[in-house]
Structure 1
Amino acid sequence: MTTASCKTLPTERALRLPAARQRLDELRQQISIRIAQHSTGLQITSWFSEQVDDLLNQLWNGILTEYPTEFRAELSSAIALIAVGGTGRGDLAPYSDIDLLIVHRTAGGERWHEFAAQFVRDCWDAGLKLGHSTRSIPDAIRMARDDTQFATSLLEARLLVGHKPLFDDLMRKFQWNVVRGRLHTILSSSIAERDKEQAAHGATNQELEPDVKRSPGGLRDIHLIRWLSQLRTGSSDPEALRLAGLMTRDELLRLVTAYDYLLSIRLTLHLAAGRANDVLTRSEQVRIAQDRGIEASGGQLAVEKFMQEYFRHTSTVSELATRLVRKHLPSRWQDVLWRPVVTHRVDTIYRISPDQIDVPRRFRNQLASLEDLLRLYWSAAMYKVPFADDLEEFVSTRTRELPETLTVEAGRIFLDILSRSRCVSRILRSMYRTGVLELVLPCFRHVRCLLQFNQYHHFTVDEHTLRAIEAAESFAELQSPLGEAFREIRHRDVLFLALLLHDAGKGYEEDHSEVGRRLAIEAAQRFRMASYHRDTVVFLVHKHLMMAHLAFRRDTTDPDVLLRFTHDVGTVDRLRMLYVLTAADITGVGPGVWNEWKAELLDNLFSGAMQALSGNSDMPQMIDLQSRVLSAVVDELSRPTTGEEKERIAKVVKQLFTTLPRHYLQGNSVERISSDLRIVMERRPDEIHISGRYEPETNSVEYRIITRESVAEGCFHKITGALTSQRMEILSAQISTTTEGVIIDSFRVNDIDHSNEVPQFRLDEVCRTIRGVLTGETNVNQLVERRRRMIFSRPLIAGQFSDLPEQVLIDNESSERCTIVDIFAHDRPGLLYSISRQLFELELSIVLAKISTHLDQVVDVFYITDRRHQKINDPERLQKLELLLHECISRVNYG
């Protein structure tokens, strides 16, 4: 039969397809109604899938009516429409892809393809987005053997319409040729595909903008459990796993509850977007929390309570999927033969092999108390091996039967585990999964899956805490001041206990450091700690933000700052612990938050405090630095130098060296200082030196400006204006003025017009712009105004929210000669320029600036003086300063 012999009915199709589109729209509207009527996610997706099945059948049969009777009869025994993937599973969301497989007999394949092609076109015209293929049975089997995703899509295949014997033949051959004898291969490939997908959507189920389908603990993990069930039991219903003894009733209930919950979230995400959308963005989190009527309470925002609930479900799914996969993935025969040979017995009941610790089932009833479980963990720490899979499952079950009472011996064992670095983080993660950690530290239960709704933290509080402990352990391998400090810590149990508790006070109305202080006191009493160790834990938890605050927002070269800091810390041992805790805390926030700049600032503060606590002066270091700078300056000078000339240069260098601010000397390398001094020595009095240098390590550009105050008044705000007008994101700034009025300013920027290396012509262009505003050839205000539409029209990042308030804080106590202004504001292009211009208009000089950006909020700190280089003490002037800076921030954000 040929296409020409087909009876076409264009008028019927013209009526049928709009009706199908209208029907699909009505179905999506009906989903909203059912959600409002509190139908469950499983109920709605199952109902919607049935309705889509009917719609597909109508479209299929509608095309059949366009063909002669004899073709229909032939077709009925030669082709079948099969639902696969999510369509086969029956959990479709409103805008899900419809996964279909059209299978046909090998003979007459061209005609079957013509029919299938028309069906596919009608589906698309009806508004259904297809994921489909048309194959013969041999083609489908070959594809399933080569492609794991295609194979897993067939595990839950259903016949929609067409020849049932053809469908049965496909499934029989699929089982015989693909599944049987290749169970290990399919499972391994499925897990590898899932691992790859998880890596692309976050390494933890507690990423703060998760993908409901693909992130760890999402729907895809439930699909993996269903595939495992199908391969192991012949049924994709997880109930089959329970009946087979592979899952407990409680686990099945928690899995089904999570499945229903995640489907309900996915439904509302699709409906709100009007398209397929599985990403739970910040804006969607706020909307769903409001729609569900969740109210803020006890220091938690409504959205934080919603996301804590969400993460508890995804944690359940992730843990079940991980355990089931590990438990039921077939063991390699080498492992089966090898492990008994290398296993030895410890303490009668433990079996230790190179890759795990286990307890034979007949001895597990001896693990009857928290002490027993902690001894088991202590042995795992001693031998640096994880639990056998089903042993961790047993401990989880046993934990639920135990009280929270902590005996003296149990506390001693736990602290001893914390003292054994290199495996503490792994042991604590296992304790957290099994619930043992919450028996030891009941306060930790509060932070399980606790969200902080801001753009600074990438993870929930519990995940952040565990990552901070992992970071601290990793410092042992560093050949740096941080690594040396970690290795010198004698009581690492105190450090790790403080890390466990440092954010345990989050989620309450009171400041989390104050809550944490009380929790630390309770924990120390619970462990019966000696008074010194108790006081140290309490200090570290209560003051865990102090070192970062000083390093990033204060002039740590100021002797008074160092004096107060060392007085608060008290001992060298506490200093080392606070240093390591601070670095670990920052590292655990998220990828890229810890960087060389922050490391250097913390190193400088640690070094200065260590010198102060040990009673050593830094004078020898300054003399050594001056000597090395002098040698470098002489080496860099291009002209020949005689002995007399060298003496003259040495005299000039030493004189210039004494005029440099201490923060400049401590914040720059010998090479940079010598280069700057050479420029200062060689430049003319009215000359402005400007250079730009791209740094591939940080993918940023440093613009350096050297001139005199008398040449370029208001230098700081003019430079920020010039950089802002060129679409630069200012990452940091170092402002240095010698006692003789020489300005050495450095700005590190991100050039958003160039994603990779910034070309030389761009560096030259920006340098010319800076020179123009400093010489007065270009009016900086007019330059910014000309570019205002481009600069200030850029919206905030989609879905960007923060619970961090905008503030202007004035500190007149921390510095003897400067007033310190801390500005917390949501990041906007031009913010730094507007602030610095306001300070200039108030006739205030910026002595030191520390610029820091945390995604959606900046923390800018300015050390300022009046025109007489004095601190601002007049209360009315301070009040006016605060008011005008608040207005300045508001103008940038909203005007």
Structure 2
Amino acid sequence: MRPFINRCREMLEAGREKAYAQHRLGSPGMQVSTLLADLYDDVVLEIWHQAIAQHGDDDRLSGLALVAHGGFGRRDLAPYSDADLMLLSTRGSADLAAKIAGNLTRDLSDCGIDPGLSIRSPAEACSLSWTDAVVFSSLTESRFLAGGLQLYRKFFDSYRLGAKRRSNRLIKNIVEARREERSKWGETNYMLRPNVKRSSGALRDIQLIRWIGFARFGETDLERLLKLGALPEEDFRLMRRAYGFMLRVRHELHFRSGKSQDVLDRPTQMDIAKAWGYQGDDGVLPVEQFMQDYFDNTRNVRYSSAYFVDDARSRSLPARLTESALSRKMSDNIRMGPTSIWVRQDALKEFSNSLPDVLGLMSLANQHTRRISHRTWQAIRNAMREREPSPPDERSIESFLSLLSRPGRLADLLRRLHELRIIEQLIPEFERMRGLLQFNAYHKYTVDAHSFLAVEAATDLQDDLESGMGRRYRRIEDKRLLHLALLVHDIGKGYEEDHCIVGERIAEKVANRLNLSSSDSEMLRWLVLKHLIVNVVAFRHDLSDPQIVLSFAAEVGSIRRLEMLVVHTYCDLTAVGPGVATQWKLNLIEDLYRRTRRYFDSGDLPGSPDDPEIDRTRNRVDEQLIKHCSAELLPQARELLSDMPLSLLSRCEADSLAAEIMAVGAFDWDDDRRTICMAGYDNAVQALRFVVIRREDYLTMGTFARATAALAANGFDIQRAQIETVGDFAWDYFWVVDSKVGLSDQEPELDARTIDAVSNRVRDLIDSTQQPMPKPPKTWSPKELSEPDSVNVLPKKVVFDNESIDRYTIISFFAYNRVGLLSRIALAMSQQKLNLSFAKIDTHIDQVADVFYVSEQDGSKLIDPERQETVRQAMLSVVDDV
């Protein structure tokens, strides 16, 4: 290594150590960035002088200029940022530029700086910028470093003038490029691992303002844009604060990893929260408090940049004249055109300061599905931000409730009210939800963002003409209660107490504040308190059990409540995150709805001895047996049918059950062959179903444990299991999905030989009781997505329920998921000599909430506390062993 390279490396290392010391002392992000930019300047110039030393007498040097651009040009570097450089060259200096550029690239890399170096003539640089948004946005931040100053000045003056001439097209290009980048990196407000540079509301959106500012005004500096009147003072203040905060976070990521790193993963979130002194609060973890600050800053950036973009892309004069000519009067101050609604210019100042008028305008915009014109919203935004918060008057409340009563563009308008903190004037408790992160892999959105998405999921149902959920939504006469409930259903989060209970108390205050009637108040409180009950019953209980349906129906009480609650549940689930509202879960919700609605409509309790559907199923099975069974096998088959429990008849299709009974009758049973395993695709729940039937001398749980182990070893995730006893047979059902594919709305292409091979392995393992349990397959996941156990902040627990049903103890098991966990739990319960009747497996990405219906060997429940504790410890112990 050449001596001067070693010197540069030492200079770089010492400079980074100095910057790290400043960072640890809590220096502002911009101050550390400036220190790093000075360091990079010194190193780059040292290498530049070395590169040109042998060409000192060459006149062509005057035709070269070394230019920093991008982050290096802005001087907002992070510790391990690359150095974006352009060697500007005249035509006569092009050969010399190539030689010097080669030396620069080599030496910068050797000393520890990743260079991005291009050679461009002024004409090439401009031409590329007018067609490539990435090149344009980078070169707007150009800064002279060395070489021909006159060459650089001539280029940049021409560049600024050319950009202003092409501003409309350039702004369109960079906004579109930013939209694509945002889409790739996700929305910050729901990313579990946000990118502090590229996600929505992150550093790129601050830079977007700078780039648009350059195209429109020839300026990138935020303070100059403020002085030009292009950037509101409040936006400038929020932007500066967010800029400093996110730069500091980015520095922390670089220093911690020792390399360029912009993804804020969950373990690092926890580490930073601790290092920066976050203490947490009542019901809020330190990491959630830190991320609340993070999301608060990104939200402010997102709103301000969106406003700035709208302002820069405001409609042309001809378009505004056409909209005005086709408009009609809605009130003394408001007019509405084909696409937008606005306030007359002469009334705008007074109108914008009136909260009831603003809410009334938003209600009209929602009723007629019109966007509020940019100029009108600009005035409202500025006025509302300067207005002192105050309790809403009756007109404001009426307008707000009117806004909530229709679908229209409700979610977007609520987000605008949130931006201006008007929702918090109407519902002060909403403040606690702002930017509140739920630190788990299940919830992908902050609580406030989740609430708006839940409202949006509801309003989208207005145009859903195909599904039952859409019909139910349209049947709801008073939609404002549903929309209000969705807006506040998680308002109790962030407290130590159960969020549903806290939410009910807050909902009562909200109802009183909004002057709701006593019946509406009671409905709102009930929806908030019970908004999880459908999920609990549908995902964790046996819906073929009439006791479960009867208990749920008693809790709901009426068809109106049932429909409101089911629609609320659908919207809440949809808003949790992409892929959470699977068809599997929606089918379970539909099944619960249909069973409960049938009970309300007819009085027939599904699954009960008096259920006429069971008689119809039994008769259809009997018809199939008579039609397809031989005379020799028919008596045995009909005897099996008579032994069928009501729960099995309630949940099974007649054709499938008849086929299973006939398979049992035709099977050659002996001491070595005691198990049948059949498989097929279940269209009703869109999953592969394995049926395991074993002749047993006594009821055992070993069959379930071995079947789950065999299925897991073959790469299947078990979504649900049902265990029945039919005479001398254990009759078990397993619904599974390929762990590599997951749930799908389409039937997979099933390889019959593969399915047969899996069925044989299941049967062989169950029949060979001395054979060791197979190990589950190793799974691979990208390194960047793997996380240590330190992020698992929710406790593992086992809960016993002896109240819900008469015959069994319901055991609910909560833990973070592990490969092979279910089969080990099953084995642990088998070793505890428990009989299993039903199991439902509910996996939320990284967490499981599994439910088992069990009894002792004599058929009794698990009542004794010591016995419960023994079982609990046996189940919990397997989590750490997996």
TM-score using structure 1 length: 0.90
Corresponding residue of 1:823: 813
Aligned-pair CA distance for 1:425 = 2.0
Which residue pairs with 2:283 in the alignment?
A: 299
SS at structure 2 position matched to 1:160:
strand
Aligned partner of 1:30 in structure 2 is 18
- Contact preservation (8 Å) 1:212, 1:262: yes
Report what 1:407 is aligned to.
393
Q: Which residue of 1 aligns with 2:427?
A: 441
Counterparts of 1:369-408 in structure 2, within 5 Å, are 369-400=354-385, 401-408=387-394
Tell me the distance in 2 between the aligned counterparts of 1:49 and 1:20.
15
Q: Name the CA distance, whole Å, in 1 between partners of 2:804 and 2:501.
A: 22
**1:460-609 equivalences in 2 (<5 Å):** 460-476=446-462, 477-609=464-596
Which piece of structure 1 moves more, 197-206 or 583-592? Answer: 197-206
Match of 2:878 among 888, 891, 895: 888
Are the aligned partners of 1:552 and 1:598 in contact in 2 as well (CA < 8 Å)?
A: yes
The equivalent of 2:763 in structure 1 is 771
Give the whole-Å Cα distance in 2 for the aligned partners of 1:753 and 1:330: 45
Which residue is equivalent to 1:347?
331
Q: What is aligned with 1:168?
A: 153
Whether contact under 8 Å (1:124, 1:130) holds in the other structure is yes
CA distance in 1, matches of 2:253, 2:44: 24
Q: Distance in 2 between matches of 1:587 and 1:169?
A: 56
Q: Structure 2 vs 1, CA of residues 256 and 68 (structure 1 numbering), >3 Å: closer, same or farther?
A: closer
Superposition deviation, residue 665 in structure 1 = 4.7
Alpha-carbon distance, 1:727 to partner:
4.8
- 2:412 aligned residue: 426
What is the CA–CA distance in structure 2 between the aligned matches of 1:239 and 1:882, rounded to whole Å? 62
Counting only pairs closer than 5 Å after superposition, residues 786-797 of structure 1 correspond to structure 2 as 797=786
Paired residue for 2:117? 132
Q: 1:31 to 1:841 in 2, by over 3 A?
A: same
Q: SS of the residue aligned with 1:450? A: coil
Cα drift, residue 710 of structure 1 = 4.7
Taking a change above 3 Å as real, the CA distance of residues 503 and 751 of structure 1, as seen in their structure-2 partners, is closer
Take 1:418 and 1:796, find their aligned partners in 2: how far apart are those partners? 40
Q: What percentage of residue pairs aligned between the two structures are identical?
A: 30
- Aligned with residue 97 of structure 2, among 90, 93, 112: 112
Whole-Å separation in 2 of the counterparts to 1:580 and 1:247:
42
The one-letter amino acid of 1:171's match is: F
Q: Distance in 2 between the 1:696 and 1:390 partners?
A: 53
Deviation at 1:443, TM superposition (A): 1.4
Contact 2:164 2:217 in 1 (8 A): no
Deviation at 1:511, TM superposition (A): 1.5
- Name the SS of the counterpart of 1:848 in structure 2: strand
Q: Is the 8 A contact 2:367 2:408 kept in 1?
A: no
Cα distance change on mapping 1:817 and 1:52 into 2, 3 Å: same
- Matching residue's letter, 2:418: Y
Give yes or no for the alignment of 1:732 onto 2:697. Answer: no
Candidates 266, 270, 274, aligned match of 1:290: 274
Native 8 Å contact 1:299 1:509 kept in 2: yes
Contact 1:571–1:613, Cα closer than 8 Å, also in 2:
yes
1:44 aligns with 2:29: no
Moved more, 428-437 or 737-746: 737-746
**SS of equivalent to 1:780:** coil
Amino acid at match of 1:721: A
Structure-2-length-normalised TM-score: 0.91
Aligned residues of 2:712 and 2:777 also touching (Cα < 8 A): no
The answer for unaligned runs of 5 or more in structure 2 is none
Alignment counterpart, residue 232 of structure 2, candidates 248, 272, 283: 248
Distance 1:370 1:768, change over 3 A: same
What is the distance in 2 between the residues matched to 1:612 and 1:285?
A: 49
Contact 2:687 2:735 (C-alpha < 8 Å) held by counterparts: no
Deviation at 1:867, TM superposition (A): 2.6
The residue that corresponds to 1:7 in the other structure is none
**Residue type of the alignment partner of 2:812:** D
How many angstroms does 1:562 deviate by?
2.2
Alpha-carbon deviations, 1:139-169, whole Å to 9, x = none? Answer: 3233223311111111111111111222233
- Compared with structure 1, are the counterparts of its residues 212 and 872 closer, same or farther at alpha carbon in structure 2 (3 Å cutoff)? same
Q: CA deviation at 1:888?
A: 3.1
Give 3-state SS (helix, strand or coil) of 2:2's partner. helix
* Preserved CA contact (<8 Å) 2:188 2:195: no
Please give the alpha-carbon distance, in whole angstroms, between the structure 2 residues aligned to 1:712 and 1:813.
Answer: 24
Q: Which of 810, 813, 823 is equivalent to 1:833?
A: 823
Q: 1:843 aligns with which of 825, 828, 833?
A: 833
Assess if the C-alpha contact under 8 Å between 1:79 and 1:105 holds in 2: yes
Distance apart, 1:198 and its partner CA: 0.6
Preserved contact between residue 734 and residue 850 of structure 1 (Cα < 8 Å) = yes
Once the two structures are TM-superposed, the CA of residue 700 in structure 1 deviates from its matched residue by 7.0
The amino acid of 2:377's aligned partner reads E
Q: Give deviations 1:440-460, integer Å, cap 9, x for gaps.
A: 211112111111112211000
1:36/1:683 CA distance change after superposition, 3 Å: same
CA-CA distance at 1:197 after TM superposition: 0.7
- 2:844 maps to 1:860: no
Residue type matched to 2:97 in 1? W
1-structure distance, mates of 2:788, 2:651: 37
Provide the residue aligned with 2:731 in structure 1: 743
Deviations 1:202-255 (A, max 9, x none): 135442321100010000000100111112222111122221222222221111
CA displacement at 1:16 relative to structure 2 = 0.7
The whole-number CA distance in structure 2 between the counterparts of 1:788 and 1:206 is 31
* Code of the aligned partner of 1:335: A
TM superposition shift of 1:602: 1.3
CA contact (8 A) 2:341 2:373 kept: yes
Which residue, 218, 222, 228 being the options, matches 1:234? 218
Change beyond 3 A, Cα 1:362–1:586: same
Q: Distance in 2 between matches of 1:631 and 1:182?
A: 78
In 2, Cα distance between equivalents of 1:276 and 1:231: 30
1:195 maps to 2:176: no
What is the Cα deviation at residue 852 of structure 1?
A: 1.1
Which shows bigger deviation, 612-621 or 316-325? 612-621
Q: What corresponds to 1:308 in structure 2?
A: 292
- Contact 2:353-2:380 at 8 Å conserved across structures: no
Per-residue deviation, residues 463-482 of structure 1 (Å, max 9, x unmatched): 01111111122233153332
Letter of the structure 2 residue corresponding to residue 444 of structure 1 = F
Q: Between Structure 1 and Structure 2, how many residues are aligned?
A: 864
- Does the residue aligned with 1:733 lie in a helix, a strand or coil? strand
Q: Does the CA contact (< 8 Å) of 1:369 and 1:402 recur in 2? A: no
Q: CA deviation at 1:761?
A: 5.8
**1:12-43 deviation digits (Å, cap 9, x = unpaired):** x7101111112111122112100122211011
How far apart, CA to CA, are the structure 2 residues paired with 1:205 and 1:824? 27
Q: By how many angstroms is 1:183 displaced?
A: 1.0
* Distance across 1 between alignment mates of 2:260 and 2:862: 58
Please give the alpha-carbon distance, in whole angstroms, between the structure 2 residues aligned to 1:696 and 1:564: 28
* 1:215 partner SS: coil
Matching of residue 148 in structure 1 with residue 133 in structure 2 = yes
- Superposed displacement of residue 260, structure 1: 0.8
CA distance in 2, matches of 1:225, 1:791: 41
> Could you tell me whether the CA contact under 8 Å between 1:450 and 1:461 is conserved in 2?
yes
* 2:613 aligned with 1:621: yes
Query: Cα deviation per residue 1:29-72 (whole Å; 9 max; x = unaligned)?
Result: 1121001222110111112112201211100101222x2543xx
Query: Could you give the per-residue CA deviations for residues 784-818 of structure 1, whole angstroms, max 9, x where no partner exists?
Result: 3xx799999x9993256233211011111111111
State the secondary structure of the residue aligned to 1:689. Answer: strand
Distance 2:428 2:405 in 1: 20
Q: Secondary structure at the match of 1:100?
A: strand
